[in-house]
């Protein structure tokens, strides 16, 4: 597997995972026998450095997650957690002896690595975590409680975040489950992603000093960088997942008989199918941006804005498309285990993506805060002018000149900041679509029709217009804005043509 060229490696992986399809695989944690097959196919190799026997490839890490997500969305998340969250951080921050032990285990055995950050008492506020670490001679002692860890009962290795009881300092530690002290006390019955096995865990363990990762940012800066990788990966998962939903929804409406015709003969049905397709085109562009412009093998701190925008937009389009797909499938779409669609599982699995890795409302607030801080530092007076100079958004500039964005940076209230974050995620989507329209697809599998780019941009522009109106409405509903008459509908007309370039 290590000696195969990239195309051959990925083609072999794609051809060999049919048995893991979500229509076939039981909705339960993956068996070791099944995991062994994936390990033998090289599922972990792209995340393991070459010097330790791996393939060390950012692009292949992306591709394996995307391919797996098309077959089985929970297993796309499964792959991401082990590779992007666990193995990537051992590779970037682990002691040489730790790397040797971990990578040898993952190269040869069907083992799993997870991330233990969240706790029952702290929710999304990691700073309030109660898990602590203490120097204890040749080891660190870690005590506390963690929950909503994927693979709670199954993981063989963990990266655990804990704080010092006296200093404002957080540490990150590898732990081998067989060393004891990591105990699952409750298994959660989650609504979706049942292949991952979530639960509640109590920790009272000791780890060797060389198991501590070399993270040195103040406060929770390292946790934020770690989560950048996870949030970026939503583009890969969304691309694979929505390509499948687009294909299957079109097949369903063409085969479902209605009178003398099919569902496809209904105008609104064709519109819904087209919306799923355009959502895929957007997420395909987000994915290509991740694959070609970012790198899991580098520090991602400076890509915070892009990772937040990616997670928000990809996860919302995944959920929206899953709902539309279920509607198109009708009653059979509400049936788990339906013989001709995966709509029920698709909706249950997609729902959590707007919640995990930080709820989208919180991430939108963070996204808007980053934008406003840089806008204020720029000295510019026009938000649109700043967008035209902001690297991650500049390619969207000429698609926004007919939308009034002049007031979005005027000391917005908290509820407006969240809405602003959603606006920015759509602007980022337009920017990535514009970039994708000017470049060749990385592979035939990822190619889209050039005519779809202006349609996808039109979808995002329409959403921005609606969000700008919501932005204005929010102030009035919250009583922070003096009513000056009824809200007027925006007069902007969203159009598309055969050319995606500057207009």
Domain 115-211 is found in CATH 2.40.110.10 = yes
CA distance to 94, 119, 497, per residue, from 102 (Å): 10, 25, 53
For residue 182, give every residue at least 6 positions away whose Cβ sits within 8 Å of its Cβ, in sequence order, or none. 116, 158, 175, 201, 203, 205
Task: Report pLDDT for 503.
Answer: 30
| DSSP code per residue over 261-279 | EEGGGSHHHHHHHHHHHHH
Bridge-partner residues for 161, per DSSP?
Answer: 172
* Per-residue pLDDT tens digits for 53-101: 999 999 999 999 999 999 999 999 999 999 999 999 999 999 999 999 9
Please compute the mean of the pLDDT values over residues 202-226 and round it to a whole number.
94
Find the mean pLDDT for residues 8-21. 96
- pLDDT exceeds cutoff 80 at 497: no
| Whole-number Å distance between alpha carbons of 193 and 279 | 22
Residue 493, pLDDT > 60, answer no
pLDDT score, position 7: 95
Over residues 335-340, mean pLDDT: 90
Q: Residues 13, 42: contact at Cβ < 8 Å?
A: yes
Give the whole-angstrom CA distance, residue 356 versus residue 311.
10
Is the pLDDT reported for residue 6 higher than 50? yes
In angstroms and rounded to an integer, the radius of gyration of the C-alpha atoms of the chain is 23
Residue 486 pLDDT greater than 50, yes or no: no
Instruction: Give the separation between CA 211 and CA 225, rounded to whole angstroms.
Output: 19
When pLDDT is cut at 50, 70 and 90, the band that residue 489 belongs to is very low
Side-chain half-sphere of 291: how many Cα atoms within 13 Å? Answer: 24
Contact 112, 158 (CB under 8 A): no
SS3 335: coil
The domain locations on the chain are 6-112, 115-211, 221-356, 361-477
* pLDDT reading at 165 higher than 60: yes
Say yes or no to pLDDT of 447 above 70: yes
- State the pLDDT at residue 480: 57
Q: How confident is the model at residue 437 (pLDDT cuts 50, 70, 90)?
A: very high
Q: Which CATH class is domain 221-356?
A: mainly alpha
Q: Quick check: helix, strand or coil at residue 257?
A: strand
What pLDDT does 214 receive? 96
Q: Which residue has the tokens 């209230």?
A: 413
pLDDT at residue 487 greater than cutoff 80:
no
In the 8-state DSSP scheme, what is residue 31? P
Q: How many CB atoms lie within 10 A of CB 222?
A: 22
Q: Which of 405, 418, 414 is nearest to 465 (CA)?
A: 405
Query: Distance (Å, rounded) from C-alpha 25 to C-alpha 360?
Result: 29
Please give the Cα distance from 422 to 456 (Å, whole number). Answer: 17
- Predicted pLDDT at 498: 37
Q: Where are the alpha helices (DSSP H) in 142-212?
A: none
Taking only the tens place, the pLDDT of each residue in 146-164 is: 999 999 999 999 999 999 9
* DSSP code for 212: B
pLDDT at 124: 76
Intrachain domains 6-112 and 221-356 with the same fold: no
Alpha-carbon span 215 to 89, nearest angstrom: 10
pLDDT tens digits, 122-150: 877 888 899 999 998 899 999 999 999 99
* Mean model confidence pLDDT for the chain: 92
| Arch. (CATH architecture) of 6-112 | Orthogonal Bundle (1.10)
Name the band, by pLDDT with cuts 50, 70 and 90, for residue 485: very low
For the entire predicted model, the pTM comes to: 0.93
């Amino acid at each position: 597997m290590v000696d195969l060229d990239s195309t051959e490696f990925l083609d072999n992986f794609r051809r060999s995972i049919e048995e893991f399809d979500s229509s076939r695989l039981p909705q339960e944690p993956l068996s070791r026998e099944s995991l062994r097959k994936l390990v033998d196919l090289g599922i972990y190799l792209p995340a393991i450095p070459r010097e330790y026997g791996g393939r060390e490839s950012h692009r292949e890490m992306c591709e394996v997650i995307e391919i797996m997500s098309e077959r089985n969305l929970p297993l796309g998340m499964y792959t991401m957690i082990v590779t992007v969250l666990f193995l990537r951080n051992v590779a970037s921050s682990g002691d040489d002896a730790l790397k040797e032990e971990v990578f040898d285990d993952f190269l040869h055995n069907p083992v799993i690595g997870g991330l233990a950050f969240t706790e029952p008492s702290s929710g999304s506020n990691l700073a309030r975590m109660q898990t602590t670490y203490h120097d204890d001679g040749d080891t660190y002692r870690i005590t506390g409680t963690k929950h909503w860890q994927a693979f709670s009962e199954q993981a063989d290795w963990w990266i655990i975040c804990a704080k010092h009881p006296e200093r404002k300092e957080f540490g990150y530690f590898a732990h081998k489950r067989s060393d004891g002290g990591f105990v699952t006390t409750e298994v959660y019955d989650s609504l979706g992603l049942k292949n991952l096995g979530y639960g509640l865990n109590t920790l009272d363990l000791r780890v060797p000093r060389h198991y501590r990762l070399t993270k040195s940012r103040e406060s929770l800066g390292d946790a934020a960088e770690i989560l950048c990788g996870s949030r970026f990966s939503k583009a890969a998962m969304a691309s694979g997942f929505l390509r499948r939903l687009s294909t299957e929804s079109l097949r369903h409406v063409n085969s479902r008989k209605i009178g003398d015709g099919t569902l496809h003969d209904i105008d609104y049905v064709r519109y819904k199918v087209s919306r799923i397709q355009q959502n895929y085109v957007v997420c395909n562009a987000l994915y290509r941006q991740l694959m070609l412009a970012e790198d899991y093998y580098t520090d991602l701190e400076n890509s915070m804005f892009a990772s937040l925008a990616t997670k928000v937009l990809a996860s919302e389009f995944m959920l929206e498309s899953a709902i539309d797909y279920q509607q198109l499938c009708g009653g059979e779409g509400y049936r788990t285990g339906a013989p001709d669609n995966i709509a029920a599982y698709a909706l249950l699995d997609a729902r959590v993506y707007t919640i995990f890795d930080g709820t989208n409302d919180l991430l939108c607030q963070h996204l808007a805060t980053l934008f406003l801080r840089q806008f204020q530092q720029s000295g510019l007076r026009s938000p649109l002018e700043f967008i035209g100079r902001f690297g991650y958004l500049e390619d969207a500039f000429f698609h926004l000149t007919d939308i009034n964005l002049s007031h979005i940076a005027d000391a917005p209230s908290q509820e407006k900041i969240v809405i602003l974050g959603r606006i920015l995620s759509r602007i980022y989507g337009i920017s990535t679509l514009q970039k994708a329209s000017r470049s060749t697809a990385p592979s035939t599998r990822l190619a889209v029709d050039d005519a779809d780019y202006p349609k996808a941009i039109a979808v995002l522009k329409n959403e921005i217009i609606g969000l700008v109106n919501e932005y204005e409405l929010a102030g009035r509903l919250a009583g922070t804005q003096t009513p000056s008459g009824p809200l007027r509908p925006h007069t902007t007309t969203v159009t598309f043509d055969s050319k995606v370039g500057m207009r």
